[in-house]
Chain A
């Protein structure tokens, strides 16, 4: 069982918005603004999409946004495109030099 809880799947039609949640505890997500989101297309290297809760690395479309409330972080993908279909993982700093991940969410574009 992963330290952070994500829904195993999410879906949306092209052009729609979808939000993926990532629930932790007051020891990780709730205590630190060090939440990141990664996109992983199987067979390829994961890609950093969001860091520090809501910051986007250069080159990541602004269709991807992140937020946090209490012990739950969220990734929203707006204007869904076919290439957004992938696995998404959240991570959070958990103190004492520990980093925890979620179990991943498979995003399907219908």
Chain B
């Protein structure tokens, strides 16, 4: 059974750093793209970027390039999303998701989401 399990909710202050995780199981981790997506109330879903764990090839949305870093640790089949300096506007729910095999752009399996709250 394919599962993506995300790390728990975080409460941070502006300027702090953060790294959230997405642990995958039930499939060959290195052969499927994993994406990160943001859900903000009233704004809908936004694609942040994808990473291919096989070679760490990473693609970012123009809106998020330079704002976040996506990475993986193949040895523990885990993908990460990190911020070096959080802003209040980063408050949102973040989802990781696994794309279908090959060149498809759709996300077939999703994590449960990680709520990030940034407040002074």
Contacts and interface: CB of A to CB of B under 8 A. Distances in A.
Contacts of A21: none
A46 B95 contact: yes
Chain A interface size band reads 20 to 34
B61 interface: yes
B108 A91 contact: no
A107 to B, nearest CB: 14
B90 interface: no
A91 B37 CA distance: 12
B61 A91 contact: no
B106 A51 contact: yes
Interface of B: 35, 37, 39, 43-47, 50, 59, 61-62, 95, 97, 100, 104-108, 110-113
A45 B112 contact: yes
B110 A51 contact: no
B-side binding surface: helix, strand, loop or mixed? strand
Interface in A74-107: 89, 91, 93, 97-104
19 contacts: A2-B44, A2-B46, A6-B44, A44-B112, A45-B95, A45-B110, A46-B95, A46-B110, A48-B106, A48-B107, A52-B106, A89-B44, A98-B47, A99-B35, A99-B61, A99-B105, A101-B47, A103-B44, A104-B44
A57 interface: yes
Contacts of A48: 106-108
Contact of A36 (B39, B50, B106): B106
Given A40-B45, A97-B50, 6 more contacts: A36-B107, A48-B106, A48-B107, A89-B44, A99-B35, A101-B37
Contacts of B110: 45-47
A93 B107 CA distance: 12
Nearest to A102: B44
A47 B108 CA distance: 7
A101 B46 contact: yes
A89 B16 CA distance: 31
A99 B61 CA distance: 7
B72 to A, nearest CB: 17
A34 interface: yes
